Amino acid sequence: MSSSVSDRTSTGELPTVRPTDLAQARDAMRDAARDGHRVLVRGAGTAQCWGAPVGPVDVVVDTTGMDQLVAYNPADMTVAVGAGMAMADLQNRLEGQRVALDAARIPAGATVGGLLATADGGPLRATYGTLRDLVIGVTVVLADGTVARSGGHVIKNVAGYDLTKLFAGSLGSFGLVAEVVLRVHPRPEASRTLAVPCPVTEAVTAAGVVLASPLEPVAVDWHDGRLLVRFEGTTAGAVTRADKARELLGRGDVLAVDSEEAAWSSLAALVRGGEGQTVLRAGTRPDQIGELAELLHTLADRHGVSAALTAGVGVGVSTVALTGGSPAGHGAVLDGWRARVLATGGSVTVHRAADGLFEVAPAWGPAPATAPLLRAIKQELDADHRLAPGRFAPWF
C-alpha cells in the first residue's frame, strides 16, 4: 500500500531501501520498475521541502549508505565520492583542499548528490558557481535501472544529454545520483569580511564597484542591513584586500573573526528557514533586486506577514523568509511577488512552505517556456512518472 510523502510529512513506515554501492542502487531501481512502484530518492532529506509536495509513493531509496570516498587525487585536484556522502564529511577528509561550496544546508548534513539534485549554492557561488559548476563527472541510475555516466570512463551514454546539467535542479525526478566526481580547490588560509551598513539598493551599486575592481572578493551578499564582502587567501592578503575595499567604498568595518562567522551563519540560517516559515529563492538580474525588495515589503505589510530578505547582490540570487500571519497571507505574498519576478524574466522556487500554503497558492507558477522540453525529458527518462511524482506538478 502506498502512502503520501511530502515536504510536510515523514516517510513514516514506507518501505525503505538503503543501497551501499552502485550495484545495489541499480537493483533497487530495477526492482521498483519491475513492480511498478513509485519512488522517492532521498539523501539526508534536507531539501524534501523544495518544490511541490511529492504525492503517493511506494518505496524510498535512501542514498546515505553510498558514502564512500571512491578516489581522491590531491595533485589532480579531483575527488570521486558516493553521492550519499555528507558534504561536511567530505570537506573534513580533504587535505588542505576544499569543495568550494558553502550552501546553507551543508551543516544540516546535506549530501553531495542532494546538493547536485537541487543545484544548490551559497555565497561562494559568486566565484565558484553552484555544485553543478564543480562537477566533472557523474554516474546516475535511471528509472528503469539503467546506469549512465558522463565524464571519465563511459559505462553507457545517454545520447544528447549532459547528465550534470540535466540532473542539477531535477529534485529526484529524473533518476538517482549515485557517484559524483568533483573539482577541488586549495583551502584558503584565512578570510576577512568587510561589512557596510546600507539599504539593499545601495548594496547592489557598491557590489558592482568592488566586483569591477582588482580586489577579487569571493562573496558579495546583502544581509540584515549590511553589504558583506568576503575576501580569502593568506591572512595578510585577505586583510589587505578588505582594507582596500573599505577605502574604495569609503565606509564599512572589517569584521573580527568571530563577528565574521556570526554574520555568515546568520545569513545561512535565514536561507535554511525554520518551522512555520515560507522560504522562497528567486533568481533575477542584480539590478532588479532593489525594486523586488521594496515590493516584497509592501506585500508583506499589506497581508500581515513579516518578511526578511538576503541577496547575493553580485549574482542576483535572493532568498526570502516569510514569518507570522496566515497561510492566506503567505500565499498572497508568494503570488504577488512571484508574478513580478517572472515578469522581469526571473524565477522563484519554494524552498519551504508554511502549513496550509499550498491550499491557497501553487508551489510553481505558470509553466516556463522550457516546460515542453522538461516534459519530453521526463517522458524519455521516466515514462511512467514513477520518480518523485508531483514534485514539479503541474508542469509534469
The per-residue pLDDT for range 38-66, each reduced to its tens digit, is: 999 999 999 999 999 999 999 999 999 99
What average pLDDT does the segment 296-321 reach?
Answer: 98
pLDDT in tens, 310-325: 999 999 999 999 999 9
Q: What is the pLDDT of residue 13?
A: 75
Residue 3 near residue 14 (C-beta atoms within 8 A): yes
Distance CA 128, CA 77 (A): 15
pLDDT in tens, 140-160: 999 999 999 987 533 344 444
Give just the sign of the alpha carbon dihedral 318, 323, 327, 333. negative
Every domain range in the chain assigned CATH 3.30.465.10: 1-187+368-396
What average pLDDT does the segment 207-236 reach?
Answer: 98
Q: What is the CATH number of domain 1-187+368-396?
A: 3.30.465.10
Residues 6+ apart with CB under 8 A from 353: 7, 8, 49, 278, 330, 363
Task: Name the DSSP letter for residue 358.
Answer: G
pLDDT category of residue 162 using cuts at 50, 70 and 90? confident
Q: What is the pLDDT of residue 152?
A: 52
pTM of the predicted model as reported, rounded to 2 decimal places: 0.93
Q: What is the pLDDT of residue 161?
A: 61
Asked if CATH classification 3.30.70.600 holds for the domain at 273-355, the reply, yes or no, is: yes
Distance CA 86, CA 94 (A): 13
Q: Does residue 192 surpass a pLDDT of 90?
A: yes
What average pLDDT does the segment 81-110 reach?
Answer: 98
258: Cα separation from own chain's centroid = 26
Q: In this prediction, what percent of the chain has a pLDDT beyond 70?
A: 94
Cell numbers given for 114: 542532494
pLDDT in tens, 17-45: 999 999 999 999 999 999 999 999 999 99
Q: Does residue 3 surpass a pLDDT of 80?
A: no
Asked if CATH classification 3.30.70.3450 holds for the domain at 190-269, the reply, yes or no, is: yes
